[in-house]
Amino acid sequence: MEDFKVIKTADGSHSVYVDSLDEHYHSYHGALNEAQHVFINNGIDTVSDKQINVLEVGYGAGLNTLLTFLYAKENECLVNYEAYDTVILPSNILDALNYAELVDAKAEFKTITNSSWNIMCQITPFFSLNKLNEKIQDANLKQSYFDVVYYDAFGPRAQNEMWDKAIFQKLYDSLKTNGCLVTYCAMGQLKRDLKSIGFHVVSLPGPPGKREMTKAIKI
Ligand SMILES: C[S@@+](CC[C@H](N)C(=O)[O-])C[C@H]1O[C@@H](n2cnc3c(N)ncnc32)[C@H](O)[C@@H]1O
């Protein structure tokens, strides 16, 4: 039996359910709403530069990538997007997702989804995409380079090792001063770890169905 199943979340957008982890790729309260709130509105939209380097941990179904692409187009930004994942979702699952229809970007989602892994692809003159099929723990990240990190790993219950402090130290080193990390997670231990690394930690209202999310700024 296939490990992945496409499901519908509360805002009508799809997510992927992973049987072996008993975990969803996005919030079942609304995948699209969550991605827009956490990563776009409280992430890239808070960067003042027009040339923005984005690092994503957990490329998954490419929802955050698609929304960032549309953000860059609308706001006339130049975006370099680097995304890590250990799992490449099968094309029958990616083809079944309704994100492209919901945001009216069918051709763009196809281009992003079909772009090769492990090579930098210039999707448009304003958006370059490098999808890396590698664990973030093993990645050789550029230092003081990223403006924003989207931390979109599975939750601690399903994948506790993704919330190890050593990963966040590595992400801190890869951020520019004043750069930020955003995540849907609001766990106390995460916030304590981020503070002890040197981040300024802010708890923000979460997306629908979640009280809080976390933003951590490299000061
Ligand atoms: C919550 S989902 C990401 C959803 C995604 N951001 C999107 O927009 O569709 C978490 C992802 O983290 C990936 N992942 C698991 N272990 C990882 C690791 N060590 N490094 C990077 N990504 C990992 C999973 O395979 C999964 O695709």
Q: What is the pLDDT of residues 170-219, one digit of tens each?
A: 999 999 999 999 999 999 999 999 999 999 999 999 999 999 999 999 99
Average pLDDT over residues 5-22: 97
pLDDT at 1: 55
pLDDT at 2: 76
pLDDT tens per residue, range 29-57: 999 999 999 999 999 999 999 999 999 99
**Mean of all residue pLDDT scores within the chain:** 97
- Answer yes or no: is the C-beta of 38 below 6 A from any ligand 1 atom: no
pLDDT at 139: 98
Ranges of each domain in the chain: 31-218
Task: Tell me how far the alpha carbon of residue 97 lies from the centroid of ligand 1, in angstroms.
Answer: 16
Q: For residue 150, give the ligand 1 atom closest to its CA.
A: 6
Task: Tell me how far the alpha carbon of residue 25 lies from the centroid of ligand 1, in angstroms.
Answer: 8
Task: Tell me how far the alpha carbon of residue 17 lies from the centroid of ligand 1, in angstroms.
Answer: 12
Residue matched to tokens 């040339």: 51
- Answer yes or no: is the C-beta of 73 below 6 A from any ligand 1 atom: no
- Answer yes or no: is the C-beta of 87 below 6 A from any ligand 1 atom: yes
Residue having the nearest C-alpha atom to atom 19 of ligand 1: 135
pLDDT at 90: 96
Task: Tell me how far the alpha carbon of residue 62 lies from the centroid of ligand 1, in angstroms.
Answer: 10
- Answer yes or no: is the C-beta of 4 below 6 A from any ligand 1 atom: no
- The reply to whether CATH 3.90.1140.10 applies to domain 31-218 is no
DSSP string, the chain: --SEEEEE-TTS-EEEEETTTTEESS-TT-HHHHHIIIIIITTGGG---SEEEEEEE--TTSHHHHHHHHHHHHHT-EEEEEEE-S-PPPHHHHHH--HHHHTT-HHHHHHHHHSPBSSEEEEETTEEEEEE-S-GGG--PPTT-EEEEEE-PPPTTT-GGGG-HHHHHHHHHHEEEEEEEEES---HHHHHHHHHHTEEEEEEE-STT-SEEEEEEE-
Task: Tell me how far the alpha carbon of residue 137 lies from the centroid of ligand 1, in angstroms.
Answer: 12
- Substitution candidate for ligand 1 out of 44, 57, 97 with most atoms within 8 A of CB: 57
Residue having the nearest C-alpha atom to atom 13 of ligand 1: 58
